[in-house]
Amino acid sequence: MISRLSIAITLVATLSAVVSLLASRAAADDAAYVKAVEQWRAKHEADYTNEYVPLAGLFFLKSGANTVGSASSNDIVLPKPTPASIGRFIYQDGRIRFEPRDGAGVTLKNRLVTSPVELRPSGETEPADELAIGNIALWVHPSGDRRAIRMRDPHGEVARSFAGFRWFPIDERYRVVAKLIKDPAPREVKIPSLSGDDQTYTTEGVVEFTLNGQTVRMRPMTTRPGRLYFIFRDGTSGRETYEAARFLYADLRADGTTVLDFNEAYNPPCAFNPYTTCPLPPRENRLKVRILAGEKAYPHPPKGSQP
C-alpha cells in the first residue's frame, strides 16, 4: 500500500517538473522576444545609417532660379571638388526643373543630363529623381508647402562624426496592449515640424493603455490602413531621451487592439542630423509617464534640433 509520504513526494516531484517546464518555456519565449527586438533594432540602425546619416544639406528653394555649385556665390553651395557651377534649379508653379551647365557631368539614373529636366519629388508613389555628381546626390524634398533640395554626401561632416545608436536594455514591461478608441470619423490634422512647416496626416482616434500603473492615451497617425504611427514625448524627454520626440509604429488588430512595444521607440533623424524635417508631438502625445525603453538621446544633438 502506497504511503501518504510517497504520494506527497510524487506530487511534489510532478509539480516541480511542471514548474521547471513552464519556466523553461518562459525563458525560451523571453529569449525569442529579446532576439526579435535586437533584430528589429539592427535593421533600424542599418536603414537609418543608409538613409539619414549621409544627409549633408537641405536648401529651401526660392521662386525662380536657384543656382547650384561649389562657388560661394551660388544659392545652393555644394562641397568641393564639385565644379563651381553645375547649373540651376527653376522653381515655378509648384514644379522644379534642373537646367544643367554644359559639361557639368550631372547624371540622372546613370545617364548624363544635357538638357533641362523636370524632377519628381520624394513622398510620391515612386522614389524621387536623384541627380548625381561624384559622391553627391541631390533631390527635391517637400516640407509642408515649401520645396527644398536635399543633399547626400557620404563624406560629409554628419556622416564622419556620427556617434552611433544607444538603447535602453530590453524590458518587456514596456510592451503593452492598447485599445483604439475611434473618433466619429477619420480626419486630417496639421502637425508642426522642427523646420517650421506643417505636415498633414490622417488620424482616426486615440489609443488607451496602462503603463507603470498609469492610464495613458495617445493619438496615432494612420499611415495606411491598419498601420499606426506615434509621435510622442514622455517624462524622460530632454533627460535620458531626445527632447523633441520619439517615434513608434504599431499594427491595428481586427479586434481594435494594438501592441505598443516601446523597446522599439526610436529617435527622429533630427536627433543627430540638422538637415531633416521632423514632426513634433501633438498635445495629446506629450506624456508625463517616464518611458525608460527604446532609444536613448543622441550624445551630441545638432544645433537647431530642439523644439
Render pLDDT for 190-233 as a digit per residue (tens, 0 to 9): 999 998 999 999 999 999 999 999 999 999 999 999 999 999 99
How much is the pLDDT for 249? 98
How much is the pLDDT for 300? 78
Instruction: Please state, in angstroms and rounded to a whole number, the distance separating the CA atoms of residues 130 and 173.
Output: 43
Angle at 138 between CA 300 and CA 66, to 5 degrees: 105
Instruction: Please state, in angstroms and rounded to a whole number, the distance separating the CA atoms of residues 287 and 232.
Output: 7
Amino acid at 114: T
- Pick from 13-22, 88-97, 226-235, 288-297: least confident: 13-22
Task: Give, as one character, the DSSP assignment of residue 284.
Answer: G
Instruction: Please state, in angstroms and rounded to a whole number, the distance separating the CA atoms of residues 112 and 101.
Output: 12
How much is the pLDDT for 22? 46
Percent of the chain with pLDDT over 90: 84
What domains appear along the chain, each with residue ranges and CATH number?
A: 33-52+163-285 (no CATH), 55-161 (2.60.200.20)
Evaluate if residue 296 carries a pLDDT over 80. yes
pTM reported for the whole predicted model = 0.85
Mean pLDDT of the chain: 91
